[in-house]
């Protein structure tokens, strides 16, 4: 099979053996796989794959058809359309995935959209509703509202009845973010638009001090991105006075049981929204696997609304 392969800081298509599904796994013939910030970090050598994942094949999310069943795998049948998160190896023509992490692809979604759902929507839903307990009527601020997780968070929060603001650095993308239901604002001066009950931090630590200033009493900050930096200083008086909560999260390093729980929550709360069209999956561009290097450069360039997706066939 052909797979995106990291070699000396570059990603190129290379030949690999087709993997065998293990116990409880299915082999997925991948149709599409989204790119994420973690892939760029892995390319740069700053985010190695966890144990059990291919060290040189990136990709944290995929969608495709079940091609083979491992021992004891019974949730899906050969030919079923599935999608899910993986620890790595998603950007390949075939990938083994534990059946408990997989979800059925809603009929409304084509492959390019489905390939951009698992990592971004699971991350957004887990952060907003499992960690921050976002409620209808609350005010949410999403930093980095034009990216894959940002657009997913905006769509899910609007569908839940929250009042959403989103910072957007590229002025040309503001109308696109607003069309998702958010009030799109520039990053500069975002504090004056508060107070916010929940702030989803996708940009990095430099925002943290201003986030606390923009937070309502008993507000919650969830940090899930650090592209702009991982270290910051803030005033603990503000944190204590506002009785605020700061939490952080990643999906990739979680054990199977926890990943399976996120998939079941997705099935209950997110897939019906995607099936009905109440929430959409913005795809900025698709690239064939043969052009994986160009796909990574497009992702790194920024200025996109939604996902960059590799399409395998």
Predicted local distance difference test score (pLDDT) of residue 237: 77
Beta bridge partners of 83: 63, 103
Listed by start position, the domains of the chain span 2-117+281-311, 121-248
Q: What is the pLDDT of residue 311?
A: 98
Angle between helices 118-125 and 256-269 (to 10 degrees): 90
Residue-level pLDDT at 251: 85
SS3 string of 206-243? HHHHHHHHHEEEEEEEEECCCCCCCCCCCCHHHHHHCC
Distance CA 42, CA 45 (A): 5
Separation CA 110–CA 13 (nearest Å): 24
* Residue 61 near residue 114, CB atoms below 8 Å: no
pLDDT value for 228: 63
Residue 241's pLDDT is what? 85
The residues of the chain scoring below 70 in pLDDT are 228-230
What are the residues whose beta carbons fall under 8 Å from the beta carbon of 264, sequence distance 6 or more?
Answer: none
Predicted local confidence at residue 238, as pLDDT: 81
* CATH superfamily assigned to domain 2-117+281-311: Medium-chain alcohol dehydrogenases, catalytic domain (3.90.180.10)
* pTM as predicted: 0.95
Q: What is the CA radius of gyration of the chain?
A: 19
User: 121-248 has which CATH code?
Assistant: 3.40.50.720
What are 243-264's pLDDT values in tens digits?
989 998 888 889 999 999 999 9
**Residue 313 confidence (pLDDT):** 78
The residue written with tokens 């040309």 in the block is 172
Say how far apart CA 92 and CA 95 lie, in whole Å. 7
Q: With DSSP H G I counted as helix, E B as strand and the rest as coil, what are the percentages for the chain, rounded to 5?
A: 30, 30, 40
pLDDT in tens, 59-113: 999 999 999 999 999 999 999 999 999 999 999 999 999 999 999 999 999 999 9
For residue 92, give the nearest of 160, 15, 166, 206 by alpha carbon: 15
């Amino acid at each position: 099979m052909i797979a995106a392969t990291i070699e000396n800081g570059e990603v190129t298509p290379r030949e690999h053996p087709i993997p065998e599904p293990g116990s409880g796994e299915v082999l997925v013939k991948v149709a599409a796989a989204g790119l994420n910030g973690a892939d760029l970090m892995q390319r740069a050598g700053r985010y190695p794959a966890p144990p059990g994942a291919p060290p040189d094949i990136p990709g944290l999310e995929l969608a495709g058809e079940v091609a083979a069943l491992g021992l004891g795998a019974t949730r899906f049948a050969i030919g079923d359309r599935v999608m899910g998160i993986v620890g790595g190896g998603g950007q390949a023509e075939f990938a083994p995935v534990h059946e408990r992490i997989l979800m059925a692809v809603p009929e409304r979604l084509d492959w390019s959209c489905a390939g951009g759902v698992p990592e971004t929507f699971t991350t957004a839903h887990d952060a907003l509703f499992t960690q921050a307990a976002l409620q209808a009527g609350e005010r949410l601020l999403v930093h980095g509202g034009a990216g894959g997780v940002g657009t997913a968070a905006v769509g899910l929060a609007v569908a839940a009845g929250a009042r959403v603001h989103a910072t957007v650095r590229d002025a040309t993308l503001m109308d696109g973010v607003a069309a998702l239901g958010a009030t799109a604002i520039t990053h500069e001066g975002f504090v004056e638009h508060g107070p916010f009950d929940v702030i989803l931090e996708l940009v990095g630590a430099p925002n943290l001090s201003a986030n606390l200033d923009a937070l309502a009493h008993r507000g919650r900050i969830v940090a899930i991105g650090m592209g702009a930096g991982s270290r910051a200083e803030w005033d603990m008086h503000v944190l204590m006075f506002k009785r605020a909560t700061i939490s952080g999260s990643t999906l990739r390093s979680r054990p199977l049981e926890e990943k399976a729980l996120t998939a079941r929550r997705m099935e209950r709360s997110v897939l019906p929204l995607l099936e009905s069209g109440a929430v959409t999956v913005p795809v900025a561009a698709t690239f064939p696997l043969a052009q994986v290097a160009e796909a990574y450069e497009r992702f790194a360039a920024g200025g996109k609304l939604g996902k960059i997706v590799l399409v395998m066939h």
